[in-house]
Amino acid sequence: MDSRIMPRRAALRAGLSVGLAGLLLPVSTACTPDEKLQRLTVAGGEPGGFYLEFATLFAELLQREGVAQTAVPLTTGGSLENIRRVLSGEATFAVALADAAAQAAATPQPGGNLVALGKVYQNYVHCIVREDSGLRSFADLAGMTAGVGEVGSGTSLTVPRIISAAPADMGLKQVNLGLNQGLAALRDGSIDALFWSGGVPTAAIASTANEVGLRLIDLSEHIKAMREQYGVFYDRVLIPAKSYGDAAATWTVGVANLLLCRSDLADHVVSETVELLVERAQELVPKTSTGVQFLSPETLINTAGVPLHPAAKATYRRLHG
């Protein structure tokens, strides 16, 4: 296991010192002695993707450590659905892309606003084509058909932003397909490309690469225009070579993934959860992960403008001090 994903208090002190300097001191850091939750839920994502893998590991840890009597992951369409479920009270926690979360957090909600517990890992926007397709660049997708994520997914928000950042209208036909439906369509040739936002490697994509051979398309040329139009949520990140069969190393668009809840979630639940994020990170890394930017002490509090829950802020300060 990479030592970068094995946080310890010493690493936390070093990593959080700069970021925490900008956080306001809370009025009180004491947790209320509230009764343990009977049940909590973690909104995840599609089978074969990192969201559901992470949500499953996270729910298991929360239950094992007694944060709730029962904790279960939820299979969902992705970020937008996850945010809706948290705000409606259907889910206690959710994983979501920072651009989608920031959009939702900016709108006051009567039942409790959307807040973050931390940045949990980096998402990579994949643009996947068949190796035998002859498609090698984003410009080659002009006039083609592409899966752009299931309705309710963060992919369905981020990918149209990538396409709109292109210098000219490409005439790219966009169809709403999730990961598994999209991979099936790519295999049978009913779409030319599939966009997917997830960790590296994503298990379902790796399996398909072993069957038919895949190529990744570089999307990094659009980052500057995306940041100018939509905000500083987008970074240039590298999908390493051999992540998917023989696919070459490819630069793409990266978006932070945040762990979210409502602002009215009990302080003691938030505090106990943050302690687990800091102290037990090694138990929250899916086996398929390369360990890139997972629960790093240096980045946990970098929530891309989405405010931290007050109890999360207090807990980071207490652990840092």
Is there a contact between 115 and 261 (Cβ–Cβ < 8 Å)? yes
Rounded to two decimals, what is the model's pTM? 0.84
Given phi > 0 = left and psi -120 to 50 = alpha, else beta, which region is 112? left
Q: Any idea what the CATH number is for the domain that residue 250 is in? A: 3.40.190.10
Same domain, 205 and 114: no
pLDDT digits (tens, 9 = 90+) for 134-169: 999 999 999 999 999 999 899 999 999 999 998 888
Choose the final residue of a domain: 239, 255, 271. Answer: 255
Q: For 251-284, how does the pLDDT look when each residue is reduced to its tens digit (9 = 90+)?
A: 999 999 999 999 999 999 999 999 999 999 888 8
- Please check the confidence at residue 24 and state whether its pLDDT lies above 90: no
Question: 303 vs 48, 83, 249, CA distance in Å?
Answer: 25, 15, 27
Do 185 and 229 lie in one domain? The reply is yes
User: If pLDDT is split at 50, 70 and 90, which confidence band does 86 have?
Assistant: very high
Closest among 48, 117, 118, 46 to 82, alpha carbons compared: 46
Distance CA 120, CA 286 (A): 12
The full 3-state SS of 214-279, as one line of letters, equals: EEECCCHHHHHHHHHHHCCCEEEEEECCCCCCCCCCEEEEEEEEEEEEECCCCHHHHHHHHHHHHH
Do 214 and 70 sit in the same domain of this protein? Answer: no
pLDDT of residue 290: 58
CA distance 67 to 62: 5
Residue 34 is predicted with a pLDDT of 60
Q: Which pLDDT score is estimated for 292?
A: 53
Q: Which of 203, 236, 255 is the last residue of a domain?
A: 255
* pLDDT given for residue 281 in this prediction: 86
Shared-domain flag, residues 78 and 187: no
Q: When comparing pLDDT for 18 and 106, which is higher?
A: 106
CA distance 13 to 287: 27
Instruction: Say yes or no: 151 and 191 in one domain.
Output: yes
Q: Could you list the residue range(s) of the whole structural domain that residue 242 is in?
A: 123-255
Distance CA 309, CA 119 (A): 13
- Beta pairing class for 68-74 and 234-239: unpaired
Q: Among residues 234, 255, 276, which one ends one of the domains?
A: 255
